[in-house]
Amino acid sequence: MPITARTTRTRRTAGTVFLAGAVALALSACGVTSATTTEATDEGPIENLQVMIPNAPGSGYDVTGRAAVKVMDDLGVASGTEVTNLAGAGGTVGLARTLTETGNANFMLMMGLGVVGAAYTNEGDAKVADATPIAGLIEEAGAIFVAADSPYETIDDLVTAWKADPANFAVGGGSSPGGPDHLLPMQLADAVGIDPTTVNYIPYDGGGELLPALLGGKLAFGASGYGEFLEQVKSGDLRVLAVTSEERVPVVDAPTLTEEGIDLVFTNWRGLLAAPGLTDAEIARLVDAVTAMHDSDEWQQVLTDNSWTDAFITGDDFSTFLTEQDTRVADVLKTLGLV
């Protein structure tokens, strides 16, 4: 069975649900000011909010989570927020911890596609479906990175060398098997005629750990979100051979895979879960706080600064999306023989 090469999702805006491709139209912001956002939560700011990041500092989850927390605190919808990194097992250590916080209405977990996949490949008891969905936040296309001194100047150069000896061609990513940085090279291998089961994939716990391996020449290439290493690309320490979006991205001077004749479009996403066992009122309060953050000019600037695609979705729509993603990841992992 061929691996699905395109990610799809449902997204909600102004009460309308519609189907989107890997890169979709960004939602329009309805900018609010700090004076009005506190009023968006009926009981005032959420005090002593805890946000857990299930990867190491510097990872995509870390950057996204800390940016969201800063905007919420700056707007006054939350106060005294504590951010904690709890890395391990592709994010499922953080997920498992979240599930022990039953009834804690002041706790959220930053998560995404990687946690969904790792919940399968790590064979633990923690499942995304057991937590409380709050909101999907952003989408980000992937990229193929090489060190500045890599002999591969184009994606075609890299694929040619990869095909010659896939077992000894070290490929790295900032996620465990089942996560986006793993699924991307596996689907890329399949798209160019390499047996995915022969790929020599080396997992790292987030982009913060992947970066030194790339810079140190331990990998032939790395797969990650295109915004993950923008500073290193700008400084010339890393090069991007291709991006996985449908169209080129303005902040990276690199072709898309489809431009290079490779039929693959791939997108990662990130969002927020809460602990299980919350009341409807407690869930609504968290959703209201995150919605106020999303609707602010400050968050729209964060999206722009990080070149993220707005993918805001809450409530039943986010719950449905998580179920769809769970099924999709399970199908891909079965195709790869990993579950």
pLDDT tens, position by position, 181-198: 999 999 999 999 999 999
Question: What are the pLDDT digits (tens) for 103-162?
Answer: 999 999 999 999 999 999 988 899 999 999 999 999 999 999 999 999 999 999 999 999
Question: What are the pLDDT digits (tens) for 274-317?
Answer: 999 999 999 999 999 999 999 999 999 999 998 899 999 998 99
Maximum C-alpha span of the chain = 62
Q: How far apart are CA 257 and CA 260, in angstroms?
A: 5
State yes or no: pLDDT of 324 exceeds 80. yes
Q: Which CATH superfamily is domain 145-260 in?
A: Periplasmic binding protein-like II (3.40.190.10)
Which whole number is the average pLDDT over 250-258?
A: 94
Per the prediction, the chain carries an average pLDDT of 87
State yes or no: pLDDT of 42 exceeds 80. no
State yes or no: pLDDT of 13 exceeds 70. no
Instruction: Give the residue from 299, 241, 275, 235 showing the smallest Cα distance to 28.
Output: 299
Cα–Cα distances in Å, from 18 out to 7, 11, 13, 329?
Answer: 14, 6, 8, 21
pLDDT at 6: 35
Please give the model's pTM, rounded to 2 decimal places.
0.82
- CA dihedral in degrees (283, 284, 285, 287; nearest 10)? 90
In angstroms, the first-to-last Cα distance of the chain is 15
Instruction: Identify the band that residue 24 occupies on the pLDDT scale cut at 50, 70 and 90.
Output: very low
Q: Which CATH superfamily is domain 46-139+268-336 in?
A: Bordetella uptake gene, domain 1 (3.40.190.150)
pLDDT at 43: 74
Which whole number is the average pLDDT over 59-83?
A: 96
Range(s) of the chain covered by CATH 3.40.190.10: 145-260
Which whole number is the average pLDDT over 27-55?
A: 64
| Cβ pair 131, 275 in contact under 8 A | yes
State yes or no: pLDDT of 73 exceeds 90. yes
Instruction: Identify the band that residue 15 occupies on the pLDDT scale cut at 50, 70 and 90.
Output: very low
Instruction: Identify the band that residue 51 occupies on the pLDDT scale cut at 50, 70 and 90.
Output: very high
- Residues contacting 304, CB < 8 A, separation 6+: none
Range(s) of the chain covered by CATH 3.40.190.150: 46-139+268-336
